[in-house]
Amino acid sequence: MAHDDEGAPGRLVLAGTPMGDPGDASQRLRDALASADVVAAEDTRRTRMLARSLDVEITGRVVSFYDHVEAERTPGLIADIEGGATVLLVTDAGMPSVSDPGYRLVVACVDAHLPVTCLPGPSAVTTALALSGLPVERFCFEGFPPRKSGQRRTWLAELRTERRAAVFFEAPHRLADCLADAVEVLGAERRAAVCRELTKTYEEVRRGTLAELAGWAAEGVRGEITVVLAGAEPESVDAESLVERAEKLVAAGMRLKDACAEVATGGVGKKELYDAVLAARKD
């Protein structure tokens, strides 16, 4: 993967790494580990262990690239790429930049007009979504919840009416508290799935209501955790109250058509509401 043209810039290669089972490593990742000029690794020891398990010899320079040194190491890696090197960025598991180091380096490359490419690989997000048994045609990724309960409850409140499934990571020692807060904020009956140790020997997926999952987690949970939260059900709407709200806006000077567009929600369209207002006026 080293550069071909003398004087031409190199490139940054982001690569997805196995979450647990080395067999999930792609052939492109194997080739990249063997040929990259520089391997920037979140944990150099784990990356060397992965290479050995894949029977790959890393011939390039290996440098550490974790959260606390990301800003410090980025300028040097940019200089390497400008000098023609291929820099391979890998994290401990999954895809760089997704709740892992990488974002700063990608932005720096983009700002410097340097090539960036990606080798697709395992993803805890999509794996958990597929295994959740929940409707996940549309979803949002929320990273890690806040650590403190008050901030976490505020964060959960933002998901109260989110219609898309939400997927997030959580530390095992905070999972019980997080789910307990979710019960209080989102309701005991909201459905979810907790995926533990994905692709590893003790992989486990627990599905149920938030109340059921909180009770299970209270006993203690270990391993890497990914949570999938079902999207909110559409709220039932009282059409009569929508008519009243539209009429108040009209009384305040808004045109009826605009008032209906403003108020229409929860499965009641603006045309349907407009007709309902006119019908109510005749009664």
The total number of structural domains that make up the chain: 3
pTM over the 0.85 mark: no
CA separation (Å) from 258 to 46, 246, 248, 263? 60, 9, 12, 9
Whether residue 271 sits in one domain with residue 186: no
- Asked whether residue 27 is assigned to any structural domain, the reply reads yes
Supply the pLDDT for residue 66. 94
Q: What span, in angstroms and rounded, lies between the C-alpha atoms of 26 and 23?
A: 8
Whether 251 contacts 200, CB under 8 Å: no
Residue type, 21: D
Domain boundary residue, one of 122, 144, 163? 122
pLDDT at 267 over 80: no
**Tokens matching residue 62:** 């290996």
Whether residue 131 sits in one domain with residue 109: no
Question: Which percentage of the chain shows pLDDT scores above 90?
Answer: 82
Domain boundary residue, one of 229, 254, 270? 229
pLDDT at 39 over 80: yes
Whether residue 185 sits in one domain with residue 116: no
Average pLDDT estimate for 108-134: 96
Whether residue 99 sits in one domain with residue 18: yes
Residue 112, helix vs strand vs coil: coil
Residue 29, helix vs strand vs coil: helix
Give the residue carrying structure tokens 């909110």.
232
pLDDT at 224 over 70: yes
Average pLDDT estimate for 182-199: 96
Whether residue 89 sits in one domain with residue 153: no
- The helix-helix angle for 270-282 and 256-263 (nearest 10°) equals 120
- Asked whether residue 4 is assigned to any structural domain, the reply reads no
Whether residue 219 sits in one domain with residue 243: no
Q: What span, in angstroms and rounded, lies between the C-alpha atoms of 153 and 159?
A: 10
Supply the pLDDT for residue 4. 47
Average pLDDT estimate for 89-108: 93
Expressed as residue numbers, the domain containing 211 is 125-229
pLDDT at 127 over 60: yes
> Does residue 254 or residue 13 have the better pLDDT?
13
Supply the pLDDT for residue 268. 76
Domain boundary residue, one of 70, 92, 122? 122
Mean pLDDT, the chain, whole residue set: 93
Q: What span, in angstroms and rounded, lies between the C-alpha atoms of 193 and 269?
A: 33
Whether residue 196 sits in one domain with residue 130: yes
Whether residue 198 sits in one domain with residue 250: no
- Asked whether residue 5 is assigned to any structural domain, the reply reads no
- Asked whether residue 205 is assigned to any structural domain, the reply reads yes
Q: What span, in angstroms and rounded, lies between the C-alpha atoms of 271 and 36?
A: 60
Whether residue 134 sits in one domain with residue 110: no
pLDDT at 236 over 70: no
Supply the pLDDT for residue 6. 54
Question: Which percentage of the chain shows pLDDT scores above 70?
Answer: 96
Q: What pLDDT, in 10s, does the model give residues 253-265? A: 999 999 988 888 7
Q: What span, in angstroms and rounded, lies between the C-alpha atoms of 169 and 149?
A: 16
Query: DSSP states of 202-216 as a string?
Result: T-EEEEEEHHHHHHH
Whether 213 contacts 194, CB under 8 Å: yes
- Asked whether residue 34 is assigned to any structural domain, the reply reads yes
- Asked whether residue 221 is assigned to any structural domain, the reply reads yes
Q: What pLDDT, in 10s, does the model give residues 69-86? A: 999 999 999 999 999 999
DSSP 233: P
Whether residue 195 sits in one domain with residue 167: yes
Supply the pLDDT for residue 241. 84
**233 CB burial (10 A radius; 0-12, 13-18, 19+):** exposed
Q: What span, in angstroms and rounded, lies between the C-alpha atoms of 120 and 25?
A: 10
Whether residue 216 sits in one domain with residue 140: yes
